[in-house]
Amino acid sequence: MSSASSRPSLLGASVGASVGAITASVLAWPVADLFIAPYLIAEAMRPESRARTSTTEPEARDLRALCGQLTGPHARVCVLAGGTQEGRTALALSASKGRPTVRLSLREATAPHSMQMTLIDQLYKPLACAPMFRSLGVFWLSLFDMLIADHAHTRNRDFGVVLHQLRRALNRQAPQATAQSRPLVIVEHLYVPTGAATAPGGEGLAPMLRALRQFLCAVSIDEDSADVLVLVPHGTAAADAASRAWRGEFRRSCAERANLSDGAVTIALTQSEAVDAWLNGMRLAGAAGRA
């Protein structure tokens, strides 16, 4: 009788295991944030870790023009607008050959949660352990949701945390990088979360988009640690803002433009003034959409 009563009950064992798992996760967070995540993201950026997904070969002239803009003495933000999606992707993949590369496709980023999970998915996608990190991301987000009632704040905060992990991964590559081997950040489908931010239920996307755009400018223009290539169709806020930033006073000193095949253009923003004009153009476009 006494031996039976001394055995832990199923409920007690379950509670103990749950508390232990939560405690271990909380204690593991600083180690994962500071060391494990930046190391694994840097490994996923390695050229040999990424598989090419485009079979289209770009025009040699177009590739030379794009690579010429992405291999300057200092990092920059480059917007590739127009043409077809297949053509833009083929150019971007060819330009990234031999360079540590992060490819961020925001096609599924239609709400704050999917924006956060899309970032995690894309950073670890080249690794075999990517499904495990997606599962861990869902677990940690669910844990914070139980502890913090403001879920939009949680997503925005955790989005910034993951961006800082990416920044540390880029900084691991930057010291030994040359102009031809400097890390490259490719961003696709930026117009999807930009449009969703003005739709009902997408309000929480606006601060996340601002954080992403400022991050891209910081790692390129400010820190000189990575080039940024944004792929957009004609008529989107990013494409129109880049065209406006290239015109006028920025045309000779802060931006470069090259006309490519199929009506595509590539605009390189080389100074903070042109980048600020690009960001302001997208912000004004977003405000017009909400109005």
Name the average pLDDT for the chain. Answer: 84
Q: How confident is the model at residue 275 (pLDDT cuts 50, 70, 90)?
A: confident
Q: Which range, of 4-13, 213-222, 233-242, 275-284, averages the lowest pLDDT?
A: 4-13
**What is the per-residue pLDDT for 258?**
92
In Å, the largest CA–CA distance within the chain is: 89
What value does the mean pLDDT take over residues 279-287?
A: 70
So what's the pLDDT on residue 201?
Answer: 79
Can you spell out the DSSP letters for the chain?
-HHHHHSPPHHHHHHHHHHHHHHHHHHHHHHIIIIIHHHHHHHHHSGGGPPP---PPPPHHHHHHHHHHHSSSS--EEEEESS-HHHHHHHHHHHTTTS-EEEEE-TT--SHHHHHHHHHHHHHTTSTTHHHHHHHHHHHHHHHHHH-S-HHHHHHHHHHHHHHHHHHHHHHHGGG--TTTS-EEEEE-THHHHHHTTSTT-TTHHHHHHHHHHHHHIIIIIT-S-EEEEEE-TTSHHHHHHHHHHSGGGTTTTEEEEE-GGG-EEEEE-SHHHHHHHHHHHHHHHHHHH-
Averaged pLDDT for residues 97-121: 94
Among 22-31, 135-144, 182-191, which range has the highest average pLDDT? 182-191
pLDDT of residue 233: 93
Predicted confidence at residue 54, as pLDDT, reads 64
pLDDT at 1: 45
**For residue 109, pLDDT beyond 80:** yes
